[in-house]
Chain A
Amino acid sequence: AQSVSQHNHHVILSEAASLELGCNYSYGGTVNLFWYVQYPGQHLQLLLKYFSGDPLVKGIKGFEAEFIKSKFSFNLRKPSVQWSDTAEYFCAVIYSGNTGKLIFGQGTTLQVKP
């Protein structure tokens, strides 16, 4: 079955700490990969996406993610978090053959302490 899992449900960090959020997807052929973020009281918005090419992709606000095909993973990283990064983060996948159907992980709540 097509599925996405995020390993961390709730992460608490101090400002300037490094962040890595795990995301794995089930095997299903070609995939397009996304990380979305939802800041408190705001819409889901795109952080970054991967379709093909360089497996290390850079997104907004200093975030990056690495696609490792052999591990079916697409982990999100940021070298130094800020208090304003407090939000919920969602990994999502479109499998080939799906007509735009995003399959989401369960989300990770990140709390950054000032």
Chain B
Amino acid sequence: EPEVTQTPSHQVTQMGQEVILRCVPISNHLYFYWYRQILGQKVEFLVSFYNNEISEKSEIFDDQFSVERPDGSNFTLKIRSTKLEDSAMYFCASSEDPRYSEQYFGPGTRLTVT
């Protein structure tokens, strides 16, 4: 069964450093998403992406965050200057349709900012 993959599984970085989290969505999917879950809190939507553009973003997704589909397979989330409060599990997801199909989630990247 096709699956969404994410790398790395765990990233430790110092405050102020840039990080790039990588995702490979399911190949025939057109809609891509990033979510995050801070320990003990809800899974929160960050951004949706379609046709090489951001479709929607949350208030969390400020100028420190960016997303990109640099080639036909990868989907990346960049955090320009990490803060302690960015420590969380980051999930990538993809789907065929934004409302009427299942979103398939990757295993997540645990980001620890020290």
B43 touches A104 (CB 8 A): yes
- Interface code B24-54, partner A: CB below 8 Å = 1, 0 otherwise? 0000000101010000011111001010000
List the A side residues contacting B4 at CB < 8 Å: 43
- Interface code B76-113, partner A: CB below 8 Å = 1, 0 otherwise? 00000000000000010101011110111111100000
How far in angstroms is the closest Cβ of chain B from A4? 8
Q: Does B68 contact A (CB under 8 A)?
A: no
B105 touches A44 (CB 8 A): yes
Q: Determine the distance from Cα of A45 to Cα of B104 in the docked complex, in whole angstroms.
A: 7
Q: Determine the distance from Cα of A96 to Cα of B42 in the docked complex, in whole angstroms.
A: 21
A99 touches B45 (CB 8 A): no
- Size bracket of the B interface: 20 to 34
List the A side residues contacting B31 at CB < 8 Å: 99-100
How far in angstroms is the closest Cβ of chain A from B75? 14
How far in angstroms is the closest Cβ of chain A from B110? 13
B98 touches A99 (CB 8 A): yes
List the B side residues contacting A43 at CB < 8 Å: 3-4, 104-108
| Cβ-defined partner of B45 (8 Å) among A34, A90, A102, A106 | A102
Q: Determine the distance from Cα of A94 to Cα of B35 in the docked complex, in whole angstroms.
A: 14
Q: Determine the distance from Cα of A43 to Cα of B33 in the docked complex, in whole angstroms.
A: 15
List the A side residues contacting B3 at CB < 8 Å: 43
List the B side residues contacting A104 at CB < 8 Å: 35, 42-44
Given contacts A43-B105, A43-B106, A44-B105, contact A100 B42 (CB under 8 A): no
* 8 more CB-based (< 8 A) A-B contacts, given A32-B99, A49-B102: A43-B4, A43-B106, A43-B108, A98-B99, A100-B55, A100-B103, A104-B42, A106-B42
Q: Which residues of B contact A (CB under 8 A)?
A: 3-4, 31, 33, 35, 41-45, 48, 50, 55-56, 58, 91, 93, 95, 97-100, 102-108
Q: Which residues of A contact B (CB under 8 A)?
A: 32, 34, 36, 42-46, 49, 51, 90, 92, 94, 96, 98-107
**Interface CB pairs A-B, < 8 A, 12:** A32-B100, A34-B102, A43-B3, A43-B106, A45-B105, A46-B102, A96-B99, A98-B98, A98-B99, A101-B45, A102-B43, A104-B43
